[in-house]
Structure 1
Amino acid sequence: MQFTNNNFYIRNLQYHLSLKAGRSIKTLSVLFLYISMLGCTDFVEVNQPKNTLTSETVFQDPATVESALAYIYSQMRDEGMVSGNFGLSAIMGIYSDELDYYQFDSNYIEYYQNTLTPSNTIVEGWWKNAYNVIYAANVIIKGVDNSIKLSLDDQKKFKGQALFVRAYLHSLLVDLYGDIPYITTPDYIKNNTVERNSVSVVYDLIIKDLIEAVQLMDSSDWSGEHVIPTKSVANALLARMYLYTENWEMAKSTSDILINSYNLEPDITHVFLKNSAETLWQFKPNGISNNNTYEAIQFVIQAIPGQAYALSDGLLNAFESDDLRATHWIDSMTSKDGLTTLQYANKYKAILSEKSSLEYSIIFRLSEQYLIRAESLAHMGNIAGAQEDLNAIRNRAGLDNTDASNVNELLSAILRERRVELFTELGQRWFDLKRYGLADERLSPIKSNWQASDLLLPIPETELEINPNLKPQNTGY
C-alpha cells in the first residue's frame, strides 16, 4: 500500500531502516505511532502522547495506547470511507439510487454517471486511507501482544478495539473492491508484495477477528458518549457479516444480544441526537470549530444554486404516506425565484452550534439490528418473528403493521424498510442492492452508463503499479 503525507515519510523511513542491522519491526512501529500522533486532534478525552516515545515505553503506558487508538478514530472520522465528509454516505448515495449530484468535481461525476476509472482520486483515497488505518491497528495489536508492562485488562481492551477496526475496514473494502488483501501484520516489506484474498476468505477472516474482538473488548464505553467501540459494536458488525454471508442463524442470535441489551429511541426526532438511546457507536466532532457533523454540512441545502446533493425521486417515492421519517428526516429548499424545490437528507440538522455539539456522526445503531434479525427470521421461515421486528421499526415511524405475509413478501418489505430507515447512512442502500442481486435491475433504467461490472470499484491504478501482485484489475476497468 502507498502512504501519503506523514505516512509517506514513514514508509520511506521504514524501508531504509529495515536495510540496517539491528532494526526491528517494533522500532519501526514506534516511529509510525510517534509521527502519526503528533498531528492528532482530540477525539476523546485521553492524555496526549509524550514528546518522546521509545520502543521501551510506547506500549507500557495505557494513556499512550489510548492516544494511538484516538488517532485511528480521528482518521476514520475525518478521512476515507467512514467519514461523513468524503465517505460512503454521500458518494455511494450518488453511485446508487439515493442522491442526485449537482456540482462539477470530475471525480464525483464519475461516481454519479458510473464512468469510474482506476485513477479516480476517491477510489484511490479510500483504499489508501483504509490500509493506512489497518496498518496502524496492526501496529497496536503487535505492540500490545509484546508488552510486558500493560495490565492484562488493558491488553485485552486495546487489542480488541484494534481487531475491530481491522475487521471493519476490511468489511468495507471487500464489499467495494471485491477480492482484496487481508492485512494482519505491520511488516511493510511483506505487505508491499501481498496478493488479494478471495471474497469468501476475507469474510472468514473478518468474522474470525470479530469473534476474538468480542471476547476482548470492554462491555461499556468509559467516555459515556458511545465514541469508543465496545463488545456491542463488534457484535453489531458481526451480525451484519453473518447476514452478508447468509448465516441466518448466527445473524439472528448475534442481533438478539443487542436487541436484548438496548432500546430503540422511541422519539423519531431524537434518533440522531448525540444522546440517542439506540446509538451503539458514533464519532465526536473534531472540536476545532463549532461544526456539528460532516453529514449536516454535506446534505443540508442552504441555497439553490449551490447545493451538492438532493434526494432522488426514487427514494422520495419509496416513503409511504404518513411516514414520520419523511416528515422529520427530510427537509426541502426552494430557490429564490421559486422555480426549483429540492428535498435533502435532514437526519443531522445542526450545521453550527454556539456551544457544545448537538449531534455526533452515528456509525452503528440498533435499528439496523432489528432489520437484520427480521431478514434472518424470514429466511428461517419464522414469519411472525420477522413481522414483529419489521413492525418495531415501522411503528416507531408512525406506520401500521406490515401486510407482508410470506417469505418473498417479507424480504421485499424489509428491503424497502431498510431503504427508508437507513438512507444516506454509509452506503447501506448500495450494499443491499448488491447482496439482493438487484443492482442491475434497479440502476440500469436510471443510469445510462450502468454496466454489470460496476458492482465493483476498480483497484487504484497506483496500487497496481506499486504491487503487481494485486493484478488482475477488476473486470470492466
Structure 2
Amino acid sequence: MLSYIKFSLLVCLALLAYSCEDDYLDTRPTDAISATDALATEANMELIIRGMHRAMYSQSQTVLPGGTAVGNTARANEHYWVPLGDNLAGGLIHSASANNLGWLDQAQWTSHTDQTSLTVEVHWYHRYNIIANSNALINRISEGDLPETPRLLNILGQAYAYRAYAYLSLVQHYAKGYLIGNPSTDPGVPILFSSETPFESAPRSTVQEVYDQINADLDAAISTFENAAPRPSGNAFDKSNLNIDVAWGLKARTALASGDWETAAQAAVNARQDYPIMSEADWKAGFNTTLLPEVIWGSNVIGTETTFFRSYFYLASNTFNGSQVRNNPKIADRRLVDAIPDTDYRKDVFLINAPNSNLSAANGEGGFTNNTNPLYPTEEEFEAEIARLASEWGWTSAHNTHPYMHVKLRQQNPGGIEPDDIIYMRSSEMYLIEAEARAYMGDIAGAQEALRPLGEARDSAYDVTQYDTEESFIEHIKFQRGVELWGEGFLFQDKIRWDDPIDHGANGGSGASETLYQDGYFQERPSQNDDWVWKIPQREIDANPNLTSADQNP
C-alpha cells in the first residue's frame, strides 16, 4: 500500500537542506540521510516537522516523487486544496472558459468523480504522506528512550494534530458525510500506523472508526501540548506550526462535522481565545499573510518557492498576473452578495458594478456593445471605469473585469506572480462553529450571543435577535459563513454537512453559465447523490492488497 510514501521522510529533510537557517550548509545528498538518523534527536525530528510544514504548500513532485501522476507539478498541495472547496461547491464562480491546472474541470465535476484523475491521486497520497511522517515521529517518541522535554512534546503534539488533520481531510472527501450517512457501517479510509515500508494497513475502516481515531489523536495532541514548549510568535513562519489552539480548532471542526454539538461549541471557544476579531482594515487587506490577528494556523510561503503559477492566488485571486486570472475573473454568487446589507463592510470586496470587459465572457455580455449597466452610458465611461479599477486594485491592463468579481483575496504585490501565505484557520470560523452548534442544540439565545461579536464587528447595523428560531438562525449561519469565509475553501464540506444541493439556477441565478458549468451547474443534495464522495485512486486499488474494485466508491 501507498508505495510512494517510502520516500517522504527523506524528502522532507531534503526540503529543509536550504531553507533552515541552522542547517543551510548541510549539503549531504538525500539518500545519505537514513531514517534512523532522521529520528535520532529532537533537532532532527524538528526538521521533519518543518519539512511537513513546507510540504503543505510545495509542488507535489517535491513530496511525492517518482515521475508519475502523484509527483505531477500541477498540484502545489494546499495552494490547490484550500480554494478547491469553494470551486467545487460553486462559490468561487468562473466567468469564462480557462482550464489551467484542471480548474474548470473541478467546477464541472469531471475530476473528483474520475478514479484516474490527478486530483484524487495527489490528494490521497499527500494526506497519507502526512500520516506516514506523523507515524514515524509518534512511534519513535513512544519508544520512551528520549528525554521528555517541552521541545520533544511540542514535536509530538504537532505529529498527533497533523495526523488528525490528514485523516479528517481523507474521510471527508473519500467517504460519505457523517451526518448524512451511517457512520458505523459506511466505509471510510484505511487507517495506517506503520512508520516503515511497506506501509501496510487494514482494509477501509468505517467512517466511525476513522472519526474515533481523529478524536483520539486530537485528545492526545491537546494533552501533549499542555506541557509542551509554546509556539513562538511574532514571525509569519510561527503560525505554520500547529499548537494547542490548532488542535482545539480541528476538534471543533471534527465535532461539527459529526454532530457533536456540545464539543464543537466548547472546542471553538478554546481555539479562538488569543486571536481577536480583525478590524475592517485587516479584513480588507487581502488575506495574504499569517500575521493577520485572526489567523490561528496557516502556511508562511517562502517567496522564492516555484509555486508561482500553481499558487492559491493564481487559482482564486483576481489580481494575480496569470492567464487563469486575466482571462477568467472569478465572481461570487450574486444571490449571496446582493443579500449583504450595505452597512456590512464585507460587501465592499465584491465589485458588483465592474464592467464586463471580457469579449469571451461565458454569459455573452462582454464588451461595451453588450453593456446594460446605466452607470456607463458611453464607451468612454465604460473604459474609464475599467482603467480606474485596474489602478485601484493593482491588476494590469490585460486583466478582464466582470460584474460581481471579488477583491477579497489579493497578493501583497497585486499584478505580480509571487505566491503569498495560505490561511487554514481563523478565529471567525470558530465564532461561526460555536453559533451553529448552539443552534442545533436548541440554545438559540446562546447561539445569538456566540455570533453577536462577529456580526457586530462586520455590520454596523447588525441585529442578531431577529434570527430567533432554529430554522431562521441556521439559514443566517449559512449566509454568514458564505460571506465571512468566502474563497477560503469551506463551502464543499458545509454543503455536505447541511445536505444542500448546488443549484446555480435557483432564485434568480448565481451568475454562473450553465453552458460553461455543465454537470457542475446542478448537483442534487449529498444524501441523494454519490458524486459528492471522491473516487479512491485506481492506482491505490490496484496496488493495495487490502482493497479491491468492490471498495471503490459508487
TM-score (normalizing by structure 1): 0.83
Q: 1:93 aligns with which of 80, 83, 86?
A: 86
List aligned pairs for 1:369-448, cutoff 5 A.
369-398=430-459, 399-402=461-464, 403-426=466-489, 428-439=490-501, 442=503
Counterpart residue number, 2:49: 69
Where does residue 298 of structure 1 map in the other structure? 315
The answer as to whether partners of 2:2 and 2:199 remain within 8 angstroms in 1 is no
Aligned residues: 447
The answer to whether structure 1 residue 184 and structure 2 residue 193 are counterparts is yes
CA deviation vs aligned residue, 1:4-40 (integer Å, no higher than 9, x gap): 5xx5xx46xxxxxxxxxxxxxxxxxxxx533442234
Q: CA deviation at 1:58?
A: 3.1
Equivalent pair of 2:116/2:539 in contact (CA under 8 Å): yes
Structure-2 change in CA distance of 1:244 and 1:199 (3 Å): same
Q: Match for 2:230 among 220, 244, 250?
A: 220
CA distance in 2 between counterparts of 1:45 and 1:318 reads: 49
Unaligned runs of 5+ in 2: 61-74, 176-187, 359-366, 371-400, 507-513
Deviates more, 1:383-392 or 1:254-263: 254-263
Question: Segments of 4+ in structure 1 off by > 6 A?
Answer: 41-44, 290-293, 443-447
Q: Counterpart of 1:298 in 2: which secondary structure? A: helix
Shift of 1:414: 0.8
The 8 Å contact of residues 177 and 457 in structure 1, kept in 2 or not, is answered as: yes
Change (3 A) 1:266 1:47: same
8 Å CA contact retained: 1:107, 1:121: no
1:194 corresponds to which of 191, 202, 206 = 202
1:20 alignment counterpart: none
- Distance in 2 separating the partners of 1:195 and 1:176: 17
Equivalent position amino acid for 1:103 in 2 = A
Q: 1:117 and 1:372, CA in 2 relative to 1: closer, same or farther beyond 3 A?
A: same
Is contact 1:291-1:351 (8 Å) kept?
no
What secondary structure sits across from 2:296 in the alignment?
strand
For the residue of structure 1 that corresponds to 2:284, the secondary structure is: helix
Aligned to 2:540: 463
Match of 1:278 among 285, 288, 294: 294
**Which residue does the alignment assign to 1:310?**
331
Whether 2:153 is the aligned partner of 1:156: answer yes
> Contact 1:219–1:232 (CA<8 Å) still a contact in 2?
no
Which amino acid letter does the alignment assign opposite residue 114 of structure 1? W
5+ unaligned residues in a row in structure 1: which ranges? 12-31
Deviations 1:321-353 (A, max 9, x none): 343112137686753745662544433322538
1:38 is aligned, of 11, 14, 18, to 14
Question: In the aligned structure 2, how far is the partner of 1:71 from the partner of 1:124?
Answer: 21
Question: CA–CA distance in 2 between the matches of 1:64 and 1:212?
Answer: 22
CA contact (8 A) 1:37 1:49 kept: no
Residue 167 of structure 2 corresponds to 170
SS in 2 for 1:310: strand
Would you say the 8 A contact 2:303–2:420 is kept in 1? no
- Residues 401-442 of structure 1: CA deviation (Å, up to 9, x unaligned): 23211111111111111111111213x1111110111136x4
Distance 1:207 1:49 in 2: 40
Query: Given the two structures, how large is their TM-score scaled by the length of structure 2?
Result: 0.72
Q: Which amino acid aligns with 1:465?
A: D
RMSD of the TM alignment (CA)?
3.3
Please say if residues 295 and 348 of structure 1, whose CA atoms lie closer than 8 Å, have aligned partners that are also in contact.
Answer: no
Q: Following TM superposition, by how much is the alpha carbon of 1:197 offset from its aligned partner in structure 2, in angstroms?
A: 1.1
